Amino acid sequence: MPDIVQMTGIRKDFTGVRALDGVDFTLKAGEIHAVMGENGAGKSTLIKVLTGVHAPDAGRILLDGRPVRFHSPAGAQAAGISTVYQEVNLTDNLSVAENLFAGREPRLGPFINFRAMRRKAKALLDDIGIDLNVAAPLSSYSIAMQQLVAISRAVDIKAKVLILDEPTSSLDRDEVAVLLGVMRRLAAEGVAMVFISHFLDQVYEIADRMTVLRNGRLIGSWDTADLGENALIGHMLGREAAELEQIERVAAAHHVEDETPLAEAKGLGRKGSIAPFDLAIRRGEVVGLAGLLGSGRTETARLLAGADRADAGTLEFDGKRLTGHNPRTAAARGIAFCPENRKTEGLVGDLTVGENMILAMQAARGWARSVPPARRERLVAEFIAKLGIRPADPDMPVKNLSGGNQQKVLLARWLLIEPRLLILDEPTRGIDVGAKADIQRLVAELSAEGMSVLFVSAELDEVTRLSDRIAVLRDRELIDVLETESERTHERIVDTIVARGGHE
């Protein structure tokens, strides 16, 4: 097979960080090539260098054997490289259809033909298997849907190279299946693809070859068939495979002794986002929320966290009914909330890692009582170490961190205040295997120490493994709570959801 893309000796420095150091990368026609590595290994940077977002500090890029140097993604796109970047990069003030066709709208003379555009958008989404109102603003859909829209856009550009940087991070099984189907079809049509994902099963299912990066350096490239899972993890993390044994086994075996609920929602609901529901979370218990995309998990979490105002029902915490529940009072009572969209709702990009971590604690103390510098430095250093945040520099603006490390900073912010109820909405999204295991272990440990956790994840495995009880949602309604161990299985959850379906 001919090489479509050939990158040699790529180096990229950011202030204080060498993100890529002499990396070689080759993409062959028609192959699906996975780029693997820990958070911050340099995967996204490699993509951005290839597509002209960043200029490389050294190295050559050949496209179809000819040297190229793009100055913007538009240039790369024109040359046949279509990309879905890691964070959803669409403009949510425009409609779905406009986002799909921005820059290449069907036109009538100088004017955009909106009717044709909507029709084409509909057809495109249909083809991929998504049913949306294409005239609605993109902002009215969940992140997962937005991600699918971004993918559809990239696919429709009909490029010879398609790059997908963690496209599946917020998708659940069905959606992933849809995506992988599309990828296979494109591969058959001869499109070369770069696929970045932290889900090893997906990678093994779809990729022909793998390239592993670590710390900005190339570790090697292998055919998928030649590289076992443990060996891959070993290459990624640079640790011995034996060390990693326990990663899959998380200590979920603990018992909830205290039966009195720490938090109890009764008929809590909000018009237009989630139907009134009852849910109790006991001390030291991990409650998982399972459901399909858009089923209302986020909304449930937000209501409990006080991020949104409920318009029905009551919420009791520690036996007391909460009135005027909002993020501030919630934090004061020990309810912590890591929102699902870290870029827009979680982090303050311009502030440093340390400042972002200290934010909730400082908010609770009020502005006048600043956290003493010594204590602050100690805490920040402690959590940077504990969560393995890299680079371990508390003074780095958080926006310069890789996605996974940003997630850890957000988590650290809330762990710092030692909450009693920790609400995690997709905390493991975009996190590498090692870190994911770290976070899962952390959740297990925290709950063993008596902290209650509400855990939302698109990965059913993760939810079933960690949770003591699982609330199942569908169509913005809480339809069941699975209590016993035997109930908390993958199949049972799927059955519950399907059983309530009926129509479709």
Partner 1 sequence: MSTVQLTERPARSTLFDGLSRYLPISVTVALLVALYLGGVANYPNFGNSQVVAKLFIDNAPLLVIAVGMTFVILSGGIDLSVGSVMAFSTMACAWLTVDAGIAAPVALVLVLAFGTGWGLFIGAVIHRFEVQPFIATLVGLFLFRGLTLQISDTDVSMREIGFFQWGMTHVDFGNVREGGFWLPYLSFVAIAVVIIAFAVLHYTRFGRSVYAVGGSESSALLMGLAVARTKIGVYAVSGFCAALAGVLAAFATKSANPLANVGAELDAIAAVVIGGTLLTGGAGFVLGTLAGVLVWGLLNTLIAFQGNLSSWWARIAMGVLLLAFILLQRVLARSGEKRRA
Partner 2 sequence: MSSNGNGGRAALTAGLARVRRSAYLKRLMWPLLVLAALIVVNIAVTGFDFILPSVNDGRLGGAFVNILRRSAPLLLIALGMTLVIATKGIDLSVGAVYAIGAALACQMIMESGNQSSLGLVLTAVALALAVTALIGAWNGVMVARFGIQPIVATLIFMIAGRGIAQLITGGQIPTVDGSSPYTRLGRGAILTVPVPIVIAVAVLVLLALLTRRTALGMLLESVGGNPEASRLAGIRSKGITVLAYLVCGLCAGLAGLIGSANLASADANNGGLWIELDAILAVVIGGTSLLGGRFFLLGTTVGVAIIGTLDDTIINVGLSSQWQFTAKALVVFAVALLQSARFRAWILGPFTRGPSAEAPPETDEPKEVAAP
Ligand X SMILES: Nc1ncnc2c1ncn2[C@@H]1O[C@H](COP(=O)(O)OP(=O)(O)OP(=O)(O)O)[C@@H](O)[C@H]1O
**Residue 40 binds ligand X, judged by CB under 6 A:** yes
Give the x-and-dash track for 312-341 against ligand X (CB under 6 A).
----------------------------x-
> Binding partner of residue 45 among partner 1, ligand X, Mg ion, none, CB under 5 to 8 Å per kind?
ligand X
Instruction: Name the minimum Å distance from CB 349 to partner 2.
Output: 6
Q: Find all residues with CB under 8 Å of 5, minimum gap 6, and list them.
A: 25, 26, 27, 50, 61, 62, 63, 81, 161, 192
Instruction: Name the minimum Å distance from CB 106 to ligand X.
Output: 27
Q: Element (H or E) spanning 301, and its range?
A: helix 297-305
Q: Which stretch binds Mg ion (CB under 5 A): 219-227, 307-315, 339-347, 413-421?
A: 339-347
Instruction: Name the minimum Å distance from CB 58 to partner 1.
Output: 24
Buried b (16+ CB within 10 A) or exposed e, 203-220: bbebbbbbbbbbbbebbe
Which residue carries 């076992």 as its tokens? Answer: 228
Select from 22, 24, 28, 57 the one that contacts partner 2 (CB under 8 A): 57
> Binding partner of residue 395 among ligand X, partner 2, Mg ion, none, CB under 5 to 8 Å per kind?
partner 2
Contact call for residues 131 and 70 (beta carbons, < 8 A): no
Return the HEC string of 320-381: EECCCCCHHHHHHHCEEEECCCHHHHHCCCCCEHHHHHHHHHHHHHCCCCCCCHHHHHHHHH
Name the E strands within 389-466. 421-425, 452-456
Burial of 354 (0-12, 13-18, 19+ CB in 10 A): buried
Nearer to ligand X, 50 or 335 (CB): 50
Whole-number Å distance between alpha carbons of 218 and 36: 10
Nearer to partner 2, 223 or 350 (CB): 350
Q: Which residues are at the interface with partner 1 (CB under 8 A)?
A: 53, 72-74, 76-78, 83, 85, 89-94, 98-99, 102-103, 105, 107, 110-112, 114, 127-133, 135-137, 140-142, 145, 148, 153, 174-175, 177-178, 181-182, 271-273, 293-294, 504
**Residue 418 binds partner 2, judged by CB under 8 A:** no
> Binding partner of residue 271 among partner 1, partner 2, Mg ion, none, CB under 5 to 8 Å per kind?
partner 1
**The one-letter amino acid at 129:** G
Select from 7, 10, 25, 44 the one that contacts Mg ion (CB under 5 A): 44
Whole-number Å distance between alpha carbons of 491 and 504: 19
Tokens of 494: 């799927």
Give the x-and-dash track for 415-434 against ligand X (CB under 6 A).
---------------x-x--
Instruction: Name the minimum Å distance from CB 123 to ligand X.
Output: 23
**Residue 400 binds ligand X, judged by CB under 6 A:** yes
Q: How many residues bind Mg ion (CB under 5 A)?
A: 5
CA dist 274 → 278, 312, 323 (Å):
12, 10, 19
Select from 5, 144, 286, 347 the one that contacts partner 2 (CB under 8 A): 347
Instruction: Name the minimum Å distance from CB 347 to partner 1.
Output: 15
**The one-letter amino acid at 394:** P
* CA-only gyration radius of the chain, Å: 23
Whole-number Å distance between alpha carbons of 306 and 329: 8
**Residue 211 binds ligand X, judged by CB under 6 A:** no
* Contacts to partner 2 by CB under 8 A: 13-16, 55-58, 215, 238, 305, 307, 327-328, 330-332, 337, 339, 344-352, 355, 358-360, 362-371, 373, 381, 388, 390, 392-397, 399-400, 413
